[in-house]
Chains A and B, each alone.
Chain A
């Protein structure tokens, strides 16, 4: 072990012992079990007899054999090895790690929301359909768009649906075109999506201010271009101030404007994509609308569109007949389904609960508070770290490691050192247009106290780098797991336990 962390400067955490725990397979012992089933109320059948001997399996080798107490201790011990929003600020830029209100969880677990089967008759599903209709209405209001599909399961899935809609629309006008333009600051999902939807990807260089360069764009848009995928505010946290011109350049050439709504939390209540020329966009319910990230999902990726694209939305769609909701499958122009059933309904319930708790004014206030928090952090940090682009910040701010790099520490080192201070790192080395990026998004749910602790930590690290750069480069020092050899893990991957 390297030398212990210095107590001064670290205000948020101190070390405490944590429990060791082996894998379930290693704590198993034959015959142990934690389940209960009622007695079978029908005659038990012999699997070999009814399935055929070749179709029936023996016990699953090495499957866990543990008691109920073993299970709760196992997962509780594992849980203590995680950082979480519930433990503190989680400043991952573009990921929007805001507090996840627990009312959302309670609402989604109401029997009448958790147990409906997607194929039960519409007449017995009116409440679920009403939830979806109300969420569609709210999302239209928030985005300024005309119609919404709630089917996509996550942001990237929404992108895929959105690009398919563009394709179907252009096809209906005679030519689906060949290319999708993507700014070099975009999320990796954008080019991957365009490729999956059968388009060639052309990168568009950002201008000196980190925004879409309208001159470059105007030259790039020709009859082969189907759309531009833009994130606004972009991944620098900067509002694309020429967005209306961008839309016009595309529309003049018959191309469409797709907006990646990953950063919609910076716009709710103050600006609507539908008003600045966006034709289709997705929303990440697990970002803007507070549904929990859960260690990597589930998400929700509704897609909102303008009228011209509505006929192509995937089936089924909600339709009111009299005072009852029905699922309408009779949509001849619809692009195919992107997912079975109707979407991640449980996530939709949570998002609607969030919208209801805030109301229209509360949603706007959340946006302004998010911008406030990001600008406060920026102000406190910009004497110590180099701001990447000196443009007004919206909900996040991006620094580069230029100053620290000269002293031998990069953004990755600083991130790992933050862990010792009790914080999850910011987004590291993204967006790609910033060399050595530190992308910081505090969200509106952080208090000034927590923001100050975080700023103090980053400032303290910048001082440490001046004093003892090697110490910072060896971080983290205080975690129960020291630096993990990810390169070694990829060389000969072990992706499952074996006896």
Chain B
């Protein structure tokens, strides 16, 4: 090969680089390791992490069983090692699967259109807000304080440079649901979007209808966020929303210390041209057969550059495929049964503890520990190989006696009894 090129060594190929920019040292990275050594390294380090032990943490990341089928499918090289399906004729597998994904996300959320995925929910939230800005021509956003605190932080980061003032509205001290009086006071003729999460950060199901009515009355859009997708198996979806942004981590995506996950944005038909990211559409091939391809690319950065709806390029296709396989495996009946199990377990545990809020909840709730020391309780649980709930003081100083607890189908009754014993 060197002869064909007409050089005598590999180094000759880069001899044209100015000497001043060449790096002549050896990279300070240890010599290459064998497969065995690499596995050994990660196994050993993995042992120092809590992994599959019992845990009552939720708060945006949920431990659900991952059907074996999921990794079987996503490990196929044809899915794993392909690129974004720009060449439709040789990417019909990915395109068809994304079309099914978009369809199932619409069915789940009650929306008309869903994109091919976002990085995660936290980044989907500002994208949804910016969509609302474009659709309404307004510039400010109202977000519920019961939306995941880290999603709100990300929203703040994006908003700062969009000329998009963000204001928070509070939750009702008793129910834990949106404080509609506060929302009504803050909504103005410049409000592009009212953003609520349901189930919210406290696990409580919001009154989406009422939020929609209030937003629409003022000409704003309602954006509904979700972080626990399993809820949608049994909780009424936010059909009255204009835009839904959420997280599918619950659908067979391992917690993986916070990522990669798969976010979604879905919306009503009339906002289709404002949606960010990739969209797969149905088409015909030259022989009249059904085929799929990426569509409405004129919204995207590779065509529109600085006028694009977003800078997003890479999304989470393979992770979205995990969710697609999960939804196929569970299906109509399974997702409902799975959701019922989650609901039942959380209600079993909550009955043994003092609840902070009265609103209806799915698989998470806030326990009020009163004068007891949360940290001490969690240490006592740790000694029993159980990771306790999330102390809320970190995000909500006003809820410093609150602990957010989550139960899923993987939570065992005996562990719930242990938690109740320590916390009650």
Contacts and interface: CB of A to CB of B under 8 A. Distances in A.
Task: Decide whether A and B are members of one complex.
Answer: yes
B151 to A, nearest CB: 6
A82 B26 CA distance: 40
Given A295-B79, A298-B316, A37 B338 contact: yes
Interface string A25-43: 1001001111101101111
B412 A482 contact: no
A188 B340 contact: no
A155 B61 contact: no
B319 A298 contact: yes
B168 interface: no
Interface string A278-297: 00000010100000111111
B69 to A, nearest CB: 6
Contact of A125 (B37, B235, B257, B259): B257
Interface residues of B, number: 191
Contacts of B154: 336-340
A349 B113 CA distance: 34
A110 B280 contact: no
A80 B93 contact: yes
Interface string B272-304: 100000111111111101011111111011111
Interface stretch (A65-73, A208-216, A250-258, A402-410): A65-73
Interface stretch (B42-50, B134-142, B179-187, B188-196): B42-50
Interface string B54-70: 01010111010001010
A481 B285 contact: yes
Contacts of B254: 114-115, 346
Contact of A37 (B35, B161, B337): B337
B335 interface: yes
Nearest to B313: A156
Nearest to A291: B260
A129 to B, nearest CB: 9
Interface in A287-316: 292-299, 314
B90 A424 contact: yes
Contacts of B84: 293, 295-296
Interface in A173-191: 187-189, 191
A107 B39 contact: yes
Contacts of A153: 119-120, 123, 259-260
Contacts of B308: 188, 192, 195
A116 B49 contact: yes
Given A115-B51, A483-B286, A488-B283, A380 B4 contact: yes
Interface in B202-221: 205, 209
A271 B301 CA distance: 29
Contacts of A345: 256-260
Interface in B292-343: 292-298, 300-308, 310-319, 321, 325, 327-341, 343
B96 A78 contact: yes
B397 interface: no
A469 interface: no
Given A37-B409, A72-B73, A297-B317, A342 B258 contact: yes
Interface stretch (A4-12, A217-225, A354-362, A459-467): A354-362
A136 interface: no
Nearest to B413: A41
Contacts of B328: 24, 34, 64, 66, 71, 74-75
Given A50-B360, A57-B236, A297-B316, A95 B4 contact: no
Given A106-B39, A342-B258, A156 B57 contact: no
Contacts of A389: none
A335 interface: yes
B10 interface: yes
A490 interface: yes
Contacts of B209: 54
Given A297-B117, A481-B285, A360 B26 contact: yes
Interface string B336-371: 111111011101100000000000101000000000
* Most A CB within 10 A of own CB, among B60, B69, B205, B257: B257
A97 interface: yes
Interface in A460-498: 476, 479-486, 488-490, 493-497
A116 to B, nearest CB: 4
A379 interface: yes
Interface in A201-245: 201, 239, 241, 243-244
Contact of A112 (B43, B94, B292): B43
Contacts of A57: 232, 234-237
Interface in A41-100: 41-45, 47, 50-52, 54-57, 59-66, 68, 71-72, 74-76, 78-87, 90, 92, 95, 97, 99-100
A35 B329 contact: yes
Interface residues of A, number: 189
Interface string A111-146: 111111111110011111011000000100110100
A271 B21 contact: yes
A340 B23 contact: no
Contact of A60 (B20, B107, B112, B378): B107
Contacts of A341: 61, 122, 150, 257-259
A344 interface: yes
Given A112-B48, A340-B121, A188 B83 contact: no
Contacts of A319: none
Interface in A310-352: 314, 335-347, 349
B329 A68 contact: yes
A44 B295 contact: no
Contacts of B286: 482-485
Contacts of A138: 29
B102 interface: yes
Interface in B6-52: 6-7, 10-11, 13-14, 16-18, 20-23, 26-33, 35, 37-39, 41-52
B343 A118 contact: no
A389 B390 CA distance: 58
A192 B305 contact: yes
Contact of A75 (B10, B73, B236): B73
A45 B347 contact: yes
Contacts of A31: 333
12 contacts: A52-B360, A59-B332, A63-B104, A64-B331, A78-B92, A125-B49, A130-B45, A294-B318, A295-B321, A372-B2, A489-B295, A493-B281
Given A23-B103, A55-B205, A495-B282, 13 more contacts: A62-B107, A83-B78, A85-B77, A86-B78, A120-B55, A156-B301, A244-B21, A271-B17, A297-B317, A357-B33, A359-B33, A416-B89, A476-B89
Q: Which 4 interchain pairs have the tightest Cβ spacing?
A: A112-B46, A294-B318, A341-B258, A86-B77
